[in-house]
Amino acid sequence: MFYVYLVLSALLIPVLNNFFKILGYGYSWWLVPVLFVLFFASFLILHAVIFVVSFLLGGQKISPDKAPKYYRFLAKITVPLLVKLARVEINVGGMDIDDIPKDTRALFVCNHIHDFDPIIMLDVFKDYDIGFIGKKEIFQNMFLVGDIMHKLYGLPIDRENNREAAKTIINAIKILKENKASIGVFPEGYTNRTDQILLPFRNGALKIAFKAQVPIVVCTVKGTKEIPKRMFRKKTVVKFCVADVIYPEQFKNLNTQELGDKIHNIMETELKKDEN
C-alpha cells in the first residue's frame, strides 16, 4: 500500500489542477511537493483510522468468525505498510517460502527477542493467516494490540495457571482443525532479554502440533531489538530464516520433550551463524 499511496498522491495533483488550474503560474511549482506530501499523509491517516476503528469496534467481545476475511485483509495491507514506514528491511533466508505447504494449516514457531517479532512474521508469511498465542496481559492491558490479535484468531495464555493454559492449547487445536488459521507460538515463553542465544523451551505449546497433526514451521529472527531505536529515522535490517519444516510423520514417534529439543537445536544452530 505504501507504493499505491505514493502513486495515488502523484496522480491526484494533475487531477486537482484540471479542476482548479492551481499550477498555471510560474511561482506555483512549490505546490507540487507540498500537495504530494499532504495527499500521502491523508491516505496514511485515513488508512490508520479505518484500521483502528475496525479492530476496536466491539473489541474482544466480537468473534473473529464474524468477518475473518475482512480482518485478515486489513492486516495484510497494513503490516507491510507499517514495516515500510518503520524503515525495516527483512532479509529472508533458509527455505523458500513457497516450499511451505499452503494446502494445510501449520504451527509456526520462532525465537522471541522483541514485541515486533509477530509483525515480522505476519509480513513474511502474508498468505498463511497466522494467529498468535500471547500472554494474557497483552489481551487485557495493551490498547488495540489485544483486539487485533483476537480478531486474527490469536489466543491469550495464562502462563501461571496450567488449567487455563491447557484450555488455550485446546482452543488452538480447534482453530487448526477447523481450518480457521495457522497458529504462531514463541516456545521460549518470554521475550529473551538475556545474553543467551536462546532460552529453554516451554514445550507444552508443541502439543498443538501433535493433536492437530499439522506441520511445524521452524523460524528464527535477528535484529528486531534495534527497530525501536531506529524506527522512521534509519533503516533496520532484520534477518529472518525459515530454518525447517517438520511434518507430522517426522515427529510421530517423538515425545514433547524430544520434539522441543529437536526444534531448539535447529533454532540454536541457525542463530549461531554469523555471530562474529
> Tens digit of pLDDT for each residue in 2-14?
999 999 999 988 8
Mean pLDDT of 51-57: 94
Grid cell, residue 7, equals: 502513486
Domain at 91-272, CATH from 3.40.50.12280, 1.10.10.10, 1.10.3210.50, 3.40.1130.10: 3.40.1130.10
Domain ranges of the chain: 91-272
Does this model's pTM top 0.75?
Answer: yes
% of residues, the chain, pLDDT over 70: 96
Mean pLDDT of 31-48: 92
**Quick one: pLDDT band at residue 21, thresholds 50, 70, 90?**
confident
Grid cell, residue 147, equals: 483486539
| 172 contacts: CB under 8 Å, gap ≥ 6 | 133, 155, 183, 208, 212
Q: Which residue has the cell 511445524?
A: 216
Order of strands, sheet of 88-94, starting from the edge strand that comes earlier in the sequence: 88-94, 236-246, 216-222, 107-110, 182-185, 130-135, 155-157
Beta-bridge partner residues of 132 = 184
Grid cell, residue 70, equals: 475482512
pLDDT at 20: 72
Q: CA separation (Å) from 4 to 8, 45, 81, 185?
A: 6, 14, 10, 32
Q: Note the pLDDT tens digit of each residue in 113-148.
A: 999 999 999 999 998 999 999 999 999 988 999 999
